[in-house]
Structure 1
Amino acid sequence: MDYEEKTLHKESIYNGKIIDVCVHEVQLPDGRTGKREVVNHPGAVAVIARTPSDKIILVRQYRKALEKELFEIPAGKLEPGEDPEMSASRELEEETGYRAQGLKKTASFYTSPGFADEIIHLYEAEQVTRGQTSTDEDEFVELVEVSLEEAQELIREEKIHDAKTMYAVQHLMLSRR
């Protein structure tokens, strides 16, 4: 059986700074029709970075959608046509002031494929050095450096509570084995 849902009609209902939202009328595999709300996102990058003393570099920031502060690995959206590796390097430096001598791609994953096409490209920074931060004018973040054990405790406390950062911590735990 073919499970593809063919789009019969698409209507844009919102075009924003970060996302666009469309409603698709689709033909279902059994021939009936249905509606799908789809969030289009340009994609994002995230960076697992550790200091020379093996501390994980995080940023603490308020997330309006959740109405709470989270500790997260540095991340940001891709600019149109931007190479993900270049974006990862830029985001790491802008948010934390750290520069990486190199970046190694770890994985790419979809954040919420049930309704969004956002993909995050995850990189691991190699040999970081401290520099100056230069966050966006509407971005308020605090640099935080934690041990792997402290990161695990932040997960238990739901202070690290987003998939990309939890994935990063798990990746670091598995790479220590």
Structure 2
Amino acid sequence: MPAVAPLFLYGPMAARSFLQVAIGAAADRAAEALLPDHRLSAPADAFPLPGLAQGSAGVHGRIIEDPEAIKRLIYTAEALRLGPLQSVRVHRGARDLAAWAFSGAHGERNWLPERWSTTSQRTLDEAVREIVGDMAERPVAELAATKAMILSRAAARVAARDSAPTDLRSSFRADAVETERVEIPHAGFFRTRCYSLRHPHFDGNSSPLLRREVFVATDAALVLPYDPAHDRLLLVEQFRMGPYGRGDPHPWMLEPVAGRIDAGEAPEDTAFRECREEAGLELRALERISSHYCTPGYSTEVFHLFLGICDLPDLAQGSGGLATENEDIRTHVIGFDRAMDLLQTGEANNGPLILALIWLQRERARLRTMT
């Protein structure tokens, strides 16, 4: 790695909120600068971090000169896979000086600030919070290998700020919880946190100091494809580690189509994408069933559950999934009555599938009038 001083940052990495998370007080010393004869481009991506390209407009950004801040920013940028450093010349006021900049991700379209939403910036800032928290403990290559998971976890934390109503349940807020310490017992593709905390009791007192572990997951979209014209639906079957780890002698499970919500995606976008990837289906419409925590006692994971309106083939069994993700999926097209049998026998033992089938049973008559 070449000596980097100064470092030119652009786009979302030049945002004050990003710099405050990444380098703390050194953000106050970041001066504005201009990189002439360049523009920002971005790939066609749901979360398009920009890269540098040749152009006449010039790129506005900030210059960082503090060595420790530069070290933290290099680690952060490498974790986000923002490309190699390149030598540039920037204007800082009346001065023209040499600097380094990350090449970033290139694309065919221009990256425009107005296309970068507040939610996207908050997601990036949350991802950086996790990255810099790992800087002393993990090689940056490990983080770079799990970039998609880091961004998805960050997107889930941002989405969590839009909480459900408190008409019946307590209106206690999270800031009423006293957190003394947070540890990371495991940090890999998945992550766990261990909290030492006190929380309010309903009688106005406080709990003793408690130690609680939580599995930090991404949010997921799940969709049960349904063909109202032929009154049939599609299930996917695949090997699942949960039943296997529990000791279930039959760890292959019937489920709705499901997938992780990537950063920058809405749950509906994920539902459409996963139906294409797992089952080769193009949905006509979505019906929202629920958004819910699946195991709130120890996991952050939220499921966004849908029913997808589509045309289903006559083929009883098929296959799907992405080889790049080592997915081995079998699909089953079955009639509504057969699906209800699965509820009765208990073969439908997947929570989201049970919920989706009960919802379909209630809404079936209405849905069949849509044909």
TM-score category by the smaller chain? 0.7 to 0.9
**Residue 243 of structure 2 aligns to a residue in which SS?**
coil
Contact 2:219 2:301 in 1 (8 A): yes
Tell me, what secondary structure is at the counterpart of 1:59?
strand
Q: Residue 320 of structure 2 contacts residue 328 of structure 2 at CA under 8 Å; is this kept in 1? A: no
TM-score of the superposed pair, with normalisation by structure 2: 0.44
Contact 1:9 1:24 in 2 (8 A): yes
| Residues 141 and 27 of structure 1: CA distance in aligned 2, closer, same or farther (over 3 Å) | same
The answer to whether the 8 Å contact 1:94/1:133 transfers is no
AA partner of residue 184 (structure 2) = S
- In structure 2, the partner of 1:44 is 220
Maintained 8 Å contact 1:93/1:134: no
Deviation at 1:33, TM superposition (A): 0.4
State the partner residue of 1:8.
180
Counterpart selection for 2:230 from 42, 53, 77: 53
2:105 matched residue in structure 1: none
Displacement of 1:42 after TM fit?
Answer: 1.1
- What is the letter of the counterpart of residue 181 of structure 2? H
Are the aligned partners of 1:58 and 1:145 in contact in 2 as well (CA < 8 Å)? yes
What is the one-letter code of the residue matched to 2:225?
Answer: A
What residue number does 1:21 align with? Answer: 192
Contact 2:306 2:356 in 1 (8 A): no
In structure 2, the residue matched to 1:175 is 363
Deviation for aligned residue 1:119: 0.5
The code of the aligned residue for 1:11 comes to E
RMSD: 2.2
Specify every segment of 5 or more residues in structure 2 that has no aligned partner in the other structure, as ranges.
Answer: 1-169, 201-205, 245-250, 366-371
Alignment correspondent of 1:94: 277
What is the CA-CA distance between 1:75 and the residue it aligns to? 0.7
Q: Which moved more, 1:152-161 or 1:163-172?
A: 152-161
Give, in angstroms, the shift of residue 63 of structure 1: 1.2
- SS of corresponding position for 2:226: coil
Using a 3 Å threshold, how does the CA distance of structure 1 residues 147 and 5 change in structure 2: closer, same or farther? Answer: farther
> For the residues of structure 2 that align with 1:49 and 1:25, how far apart are their CA atoms?
43
Taking structure 1 as the reference length, what is the TM-score of the superposition?
Answer: 0.88
Give me the identity figure in percent: 23
Distance 1:162 1:11 in 2: 32
The structure carrying a bigger strand percent of its residues is 1
TM superposition shift of 1:31: 4.6
Aligned residues: 175
Whole-angstrom CA distance in 2 between matches of 1:94 and 1:133:
11
The aligned counterpart of 2:309 is 126
Separation in 1 of the partners of 2:320 and 2:233? 20
Q: CA deviation at 1:162?
A: 1.2
Change (3 A) 1:128 1:10: farther
Residue of structure 1 equivalent to 2:353:
165
Q: Structure 1: state its 5+ residue gaps.
A: none
3-state DSSP class of the match of 1:160? Answer: coil
Q: Distance in 2 between matches of 1:134 and 1:169?
A: 22
1:134 offset after TM fit, Å? 5.6
In the alignment, the residues of structure 2 paired with residue 102 and residue 176 of structure 1 have an alpha-carbon distance, to the nearest angstrom, of 15
Q: Counterpart of 2:260?
A: 77
- For residues 145-168 of structure 1, what are the alpha-carbon distances to aligned partners after superposition, in whole Å with 9 as ceiling and x for unaligned? 122221222233333211100000
| Structure with greater helix share of residues | 2
From 321, 335, 345, the equivalent of 1:135 is 321
1:79 aligned partner, one-letter code: D
Structure with greater Cα Rg:
2
| Partner Cα separation in structure 2 for residue 118 and residue 172 of structure 1 | 24
Q: Which one of the candidate residues 47, 63, 69 is aligned to 2:240?
A: 63
